[in-house]
Amino acid sequence: QVQLVQSGAEVKKPGASVKVSCKASGYGFTSYGISWVRQAPGQGLEWMGWISPYNGNTKYAENLQGRVTMTTATSTSTVYMELRSLRYDDTAVYFCARAVIPVATKPAFDIWGQGTMVTVSS
Amino acid sequence: EIVLTQSPGTLSLSPGERATLSCRASQSVTSSYLAWYQQKPGQAPRLLIYGASARATGIPDRFSGSGSGTDFTLTISRLESEDFAVYYCQQYGGSLTWTFGQGTKVEIK
């Protein structure tokens, strides 16, 4: 079935980096882009960025520019999100979610990964 | 950047009642770019409505979306026990950017 499966929970120290994976299955990998959305404990949803597995194009939220990188591995239908220089307020559940390409045809996230808890703690 | 403001913050209702959730945008939003999601504790969000009024696959018809311009509404006609959750609106801002509202919690009265 159509699904996005994410890597497991991570605990990192402040200043470190984390790389979370999101493996797609059950659909044409290059026909859908992937966004990353995070949710701090007890808080709402924050959009982080977008990557197109079709051509590798990326777009990042302004507040994360310079600290986040999203990449794809087409051979394994996997998308990665790396966040650097981690701070305590990066502690959150990180979700990947897909939207069809071209985005303007239906710019909503119809399939979500299960989430990956990233804890930043000294 | 368009800011989405959801109201109320919390809605306390009983099963069988009607729920009306509001999402107001700071600037006009293209209707086809407005979506609603449901999130239960410990779960990923689930797409309910896209294009302001189209139900996603498998979504019961007690969920409906409406609105245009800066005012959008999610209505749950008769609340069932599984509908008590947090609901988020989302807009696509063009140029591959998205924003979410802060959420409305629908709780059992």
pLDDT above 90 (res A103): no
Contacts of A59 in chain B (CB under 8 A): 95-97
Residue A88's pLDDT band, with cuts at 50, 70 and 90, is: very high
Q: Which residue of B has its CA nearest to A109?
A: B47
Confidence of residue B83 (pLDDT cuts 50, 70, 90): very high
Note the pLDDT of residue A105.
83
Residues of B in contact with A114 (CB under 8 A): 44
* pLDDT at residue A104, as a whole number: 82
**Mean pLDDT value across chain A:** 96
In a mutational test of the B interface, the residue from A106, A116, A117 whose CB has the highest number of chain B CBs within 10 Å is: A106
Contact with chain B for residue A32, Cβ under 8 A: no
φ, ψ of residue A98 in degrees (nearest 5): -110, 150
Cα dist from B95 to B22, B36, B53, whole Å: 25, 20, 23
pLDDT tens figures, B42-78:
999 999 999 999 999 999 999 999 999 999 999 999 9
Kindly tell me if the per-residue pLDDT of A106 is higher than 90. no
Buried b (16+ CB within 10 A) or exposed e, B8-21: eeebebeeeeebeb
| SS3 (DSSP) at A114 | coil
Q: How remote is the C-alpha of A61 from its chain's centroid?
A: 12
To the nearest whole Å, the CA of A16 is away from the closest chain B CA by 26
Question: For a pLDDT cut of 70, what percent of chain B falls above it?
Answer: 100
Q: Convert the pLDDT of each residue in A31-53 to its tens digit.
A: 999 999 999 999 999 999 999 99
First to last CA, chain A: 39
